[in-house]
Amino acid sequence: MSKFASGSGVPASRALADTLVDVLEQEIREGDLQPGYFVGTKRELLDRFNVAPATLGEAIRVLRNRGVISVKPGPGGGIFLAEQSPIMRLGHELIQLRAEDSTVDECLRITDSLDQVILSDAVIHRTAKDVKDLEKLIAELERVWEDSDLAQPLNWQLHKRIAQISPNKILSMVYTNVVDFILTNLDGLPKAEGFSATSEERLAVHRQLVDAIVNRDLDAALAAVRDHQTVLSSK
């Protein structure tokens, strides 16, 4: 018999498949269940959560793609917890950042600590396509800079695009997931006295970051990183 608690149906106010994924992941996490654990048959899960087969099928697809479960057909088959590689576990745990009590302040500490290696990789490995994308982003950022509501999301999109240049997939994954969390919590950015998120000096630093990458100038990139002060480091 499954260790999962009996379901009472999934709220209709959210996408049902996404909600079912969240519910199952939470129960797996809180139950401290081991790889190979029998989650149940499709029929059992349909009855537990009172959802349509298509909804369950989509939830199973998402969980399989994340490496959370495996599906075994035939007699004795069903849905089981999968054996996850360390990399898959890391990616899964980063996704969970958005559903837990991580703070923007914590995320800023991470981006601050990784900016130097992210910029170094970008200088060394950038392509013509990367240059084109960065020039487009910085031009748009300069155009909307005085409007904080437009500039702040675009600012973080620029940092995310820079991080995507790195050939170090673990580094890029960690950084971009943290930026995604910040993008969904911009109202939680800490405020520092005397700090303006849209000051001309701050915009100039972002232009310097892009120019250093375009020109493959590592010294200029590292200098720009030192000048790039987040709200956290401005306290």
Sheet with strand 78-81: strands edge to edge: 38-40, 78-81, 69-72
- DSSP annotation string for 86-113: HHHHHHHHHHHGGGTT--HHHHHHHHHH
pLDDT in tens, 87-129: 666 666 666 655 555 577 788 888 999 999 999 999 999 999 9
User: What is the CATH number that goes with domain 101-234?
Assistant: 1.20.120.530
Q: What rounded mean pLDDT belongs to the chain? A: 82
3.40.50.1980, 1.10.10.10, 1.20.140.10, 1.10.287.610: CATH of 16-84: 1.10.10.10
All structural domains of the chain with their residue ranges: 16-84, 101-234
pLDDT tens digit string along 122-152?
999 999 999 999 999 999 999 999 888 899 9
Model-level pTM greater than 0.85? no
Q: Do the Cβ atoms of 170 and 150 come closer than 8 Å?
A: no
Cα separation, 185 vs 49, whole angstroms: 31
Q: Which of 15, 12, 26 is nearest to 58 (CA)?
A: 15
pLDDT in tens, 154-199: 999 999 999 999 999 989 988 998 898 888 877 756 554 444 555 7
